[in-house]
Copies of this chain bind each other. A is one copy, B any other.
Amino acid sequence: MTDAPSRLILDEYLPYRLSVASNRASGLIARAYQARFGLTIWEWRVIAVLGEAAPLTAQGVCEATAMDKVTVSRAIRALDQRGLVQRRRQAADRRASDVSLTEEGARIYEEIAPVALDHERALLNGFSSEERSQLMALLQRLADRAARLGEPG
Contact = CB atoms under 8 A, between A and B. Distances in A.
A12 B135 CA distance: 11
A132 interface: yes
A6 interface: yes
Interface in A99-153: 113, 116-117, 119-129, 131-132, 134-136, 138-143, 145-147, 149-150
How many of these chains are in the complex?
2
B24 A150 contact: yes
A142 B4 contact: no
A123 B14 contact: yes
B141 A138 contact: no
Interface in A69-100: none
Interface residues of A, number: 68
B136 A135 contact: no
A129 to B, nearest CB: 4
A5 B13 CA distance: 30
B124 A4 contact: yes
Contact of A134 (B9, B134, B150): B134
A147 to B, nearest CB: 6
Interface string A26-42: 11110100000000000
A6 B7 CA distance: 43
Given A22-B19, A52-B8, A136-B14, A145 B117 contact: no
Interface of A: 1-29, 31, 45, 48-49, 51-52, 64-66, 113, 116-117, 119-129, 131-132, 134-136, 138-143, 145-147, 149-150
